[in-house]
A and B are shown apart, each in its own frame.
Chain A
Amino acid sequence: MNELLKIDNLNISFQSSGSDLKTLKDFSINLKERESLGIVGESGSGKTLSMLALTRLLPKQARITSGSIIFRNKILNNLLNKNFYKEISGNKISMIFQEPMTALNPVHTIGKQLLDTYLYHNDVSFEKGVLRALEILDAVQLSKNKQRMEQYPHQLSGGQRQRVMIALALINNPDLLIADEPTTALDVTVQKEIIQLISKLRETIGMALIFISHDLGVVSQISDNIIVMKDGEIVEKGSTSKVLNKPEHIYTQKLLNCLHKLENDQKKEKLKNSPIISARDISKVYKLPAKIFKKPEIIHAVKNVSFDVKTGETLAIVGESGSGKSTVAKIINGLIVKDNGEVKIKGQDVEDISLSRRAKLIQPVFQDPYSTLNPIHTIGYIISRPLVINDNLSNHNIKTKVIEILELVGLSEEYYNRFPNQLSGGQRQRVAIARAIILKPQILICDEPTSALDVTIQSQILDLLNDLKQKLKITIILISHDISVVKYFSDRIIVMYNGQIVETGNSEDIINNPKETYTKKLMSSVFSLKQKNQILRDNFT
């Protein structure tokens, strides 16, 4: 096969206040026609930057210091911008971005955006352009393609928008498609469909693919070769099976360990304790503000949900975004007032418990490490605050307790006077956990505690939670959309969809023998390293 793309020793540095920061070091790849290459790395590892350099979309402060990019025996570095955008970008090389919500222009119809891209690069009549646009919308399996041409981006769902993005990228039959985390912002069930679609289109069109992702599981499904990046350097490259089975670099091994650990089952004891929380028929309705001549719109966030949580167990609530799982968590915690039903913690209605007693019973940990800590307070103040509010202790006692807890969550004493903005995402999440456990609560509600973190840090936080669970005997309610995290961690699972409970049961039963169709769909959307090539098989059956 012929060589399509060759990048040689590409170096990129960021200029900031006089000093150059090297963010990409000696990046070299070779890509053959029709080959698919996966690039894996944490955020900040330079994986997106390398591709932005290829498509000339680098931010202003970034500069290519050395290296060459050769596409079809043509050196791209010296090409004038005008010729580059006319001949290469959007025509021979196209790109799909992570956020389908922001990548489409909201004021133009889908049809206009498709036609603009097509007619700019091809000298054909408007009618032919329309035909081509309909054809490509059909190819990305978007139903009712004639209607879609007239629609605006906000009328489509996230998955549909990503399909339009793919159509936009493919309308000129490119030789190379770059997909930058195309599925990260989508729900798991949609994620699988999009990856299958990209994989199928690659076969039919016969283009090369560069797939960027932080998720090794996803990348291993779709690519022939894999590159692993860390801190702007390629640490490992090779065929997919080689990287997965015989990783050479320590970082790759660590990454794989994290994934394998999540896949292996832990030994779980069956608990036969009394329920600590019992929720009966809880409902919550959100009303959108009424408009003139229109009835106020009502959204059922949670509808008649009932369940028990036993003392000492870990219960997981699983579902897509918008399924009401976070609302349930906040209702149990007493942070949202429910409309109907009752929640009893230790036999007492959660809304009747005094603030201070509730604080010592149940504590939340949130998803976003950046908004979970008040930026104007020091870490010491943030962690000590529950004690200051609820207990009468001397300042000295409080400080020693805070430092004890800091050490328990794996941070040293020197963090006491730091501010949240001086901490990394993983460290912030540790502080949030420290704040939640300092009152020694009996229940911890973790709302997607790891989904905003990188894979290696994700596994550290899960280890920490596991450790705390054993040491402090806490009951944990874990909310997640990530089945592998849930599988690793929980004793029992509740599956939610559209504000209702679809299925409940022990975690092994739910994961191995799901009964409801939605649960089956959810479980089959998990990408694991074992079921390789499943996507291709699915396509041909």
Chain B
Amino acid sequence: MIFKIFLKRLFPRSFDNDIYSLPPKDLIIRKSSNHAGFKFGLTLLLIIFLFAIFGPIILDVSPYEQDLTKRLLPPVWKDGGSWEYIFGTDGNGRDYFARILYGTRISLTIGFGAACVGMIIGVTLGVCAGYFGGWVDQIVSYLLTCQLALPGLLLAMTIVFLIGPSITVVIFVIGATHWAFFLVVSRSATQRIKNLDYVTAANAIGASKFQIITRDIIPNTVSQIIVIFTLEVGIAILNEASLSFLGVGIQPPTPSWGLLIAEGKEAIFFQPWLIILPGIALFILVVSINMMGDGLRDITDPNSKVSDK
């Protein structure tokens, strides 16, 4: 409701009564104001982004500063917890809330970065394979088979181990091992679309292959790619967590959620919040991204009807 009022203020034209004469942009705004899942996911994700950007600035507590006299303090809702350390402290006496906040930045950067890398590789290969067919398709299919046959995590571990860990390396390695979904989806969508009459018509009006791919084919695969993209953001975030947990991802003392879980695993029976809290953070972030992705698919699908509820 608040979301809708907010949107009505910003884009009054989108809420004209005659929905059929709306320009494209307003139509999407109008549709998004009616999609509960999208609104929820987007709001949650925006809050997480705000936390990630402004949280560390406002809080002004270093996630690296150690105080060994205050080791393993419980969070505020437990006996012995205090408001000074809301989420308690870890084994080295560092503020756990500050560490999780900093970890949000890392997770978001790696999640979106790696999914972008994967999307660029996968969609380029997929669209080319689908549109040109023939030997291009055979080569791409061979690449795909190789990619699917390789154990992704193991490969990522090896590469990171060889090059040496840093955030950029982790982003590219995760991206380079996660393009199979993008390829499969964009290839089959392209194969379907390229036989439709509007592509033939574009050919007849003299559009070049590049124009057909960028104007007719890719825009029509966007709604499917977005869903894969959000799925992959979630997977990449979890992957980073696994890599960090195994010690080849983000290196300590940088606070990444996977690393926090790895560090907390020794205390699992006595201080379980050390694992549960970053786990919950991971869960909320991935759920909000997936909900927003599903919503985006419904909104950008030109065949879905505008409805007012």
Q: Does A160 contact B (CB under 8 A)?
A: no
Residues of chain B at the chain A interface (Cβ within 8 Å): 20-24, 27, 196-198, 200-208, 211, 215-216, 219-220, 222, 302-303, 307, 309
Q: Say whether B307 contacts A363, CB under 8 Å.
A: no
Asked, given contacts A417-B21, A422-B20, whether A386 binds B206 with beta carbons under 8 Å apart, the answer is yes
CA distance A386 to B203 in the complex (A): 10
Q: Does A371 contact B (CB under 8 A)?
A: yes
Q: Cβ of B201: which chain A residues have Cβ within 8 Å of it?
A: 364, 366, 372, 432, 435-436
Asked, given contacts A17-B309, A386-B206, A389-B211, whether A335 binds B303 with beta carbons under 8 Å apart, the answer is no
Q: Say whether A333 contacts B20, CB under 8 Å.
A: no
Q: Cβ of A420: which chain B residues have Cβ within 8 Å of it?
A: 302
Q: Say whether A335 contacts B204, CB under 8 Å.
A: yes
CA distance A335 to B199 in the complex (A): 11
Q: Say whether B24 contacts A419, CB under 8 Å.
A: yes
Interface residue SS majority, chain A:
mixed
Q: Say whether B23 contacts A371, CB under 8 Å.
A: no
Q: Say whether A371 contacts B204, CB under 8 Å.
A: no
Residues of chain A at the chain B interface (Cβ within 8 Å): 17, 330, 333, 335, 355-356, 358-359, 362-364, 366-368, 371-378, 385-386, 389-390, 414, 417-422, 432, 435-436, 439
CA distance A204 to B222 in the complex (A): 58
Given contacts A355-B208, A417-B21, A418-B21, 19 further A-B contacts (CB under 8 A): A17-B307, A17-B309, A333-B204, A359-B204, A359-B205, A359-B206, A363-B204, A368-B197, A371-B198, A372-B198, A373-B198, A374-B198, A374-B215, A374-B220, A376-B220, A378-B23, A386-B205, A419-B302, A432-B201
Chain A residue with Cβ nearest B211: A389
CA distance A435 to B204 in the complex (A): 11
Asked, given contacts A366-B200, A366-B201, whether A376 binds B219 with beta carbons under 8 Å apart, the answer is yes
**What's the nearest-Cβ distance from chain B to residue A431, in Å?**
11
B196, B198, B205, B303: the one within 8 Å of A363 (CB): B205
Q: Cβ of B27: which chain A residues have Cβ within 8 Å of it?
A: 419
Chain A residue with Cβ nearest B305: A421
Chain A residue with Cβ nearest B217: A374
Q: Cβ of B208: which chain A residues have Cβ within 8 Å of it?
A: 355
Q: Say whether A374 contacts B206, CB under 8 Å.
A: no
Q: Say whether A378 contacts B24, CB under 8 Å.
A: yes
Asked, given contacts A359-B206, A385-B207, whether A376 binds B200 with beta carbons under 8 Å apart, the answer is no
Among A363, A372, A376, max chain B CB count under 10 A is at: A376
Among B22, B197, B207, max chain A CB count under 10 A is at: B197
CA distance A330 to B307 in the complex (A): 40
Q: Cβ of A366: which chain B residues have Cβ within 8 Å of it?
A: 197, 200-201
Q: Cβ of B202: which chain A residues have Cβ within 8 Å of it?
A: 374, 385
Q: Cβ of A374: which chain B residues have Cβ within 8 Å of it?
A: 198, 202, 215-216, 219-220
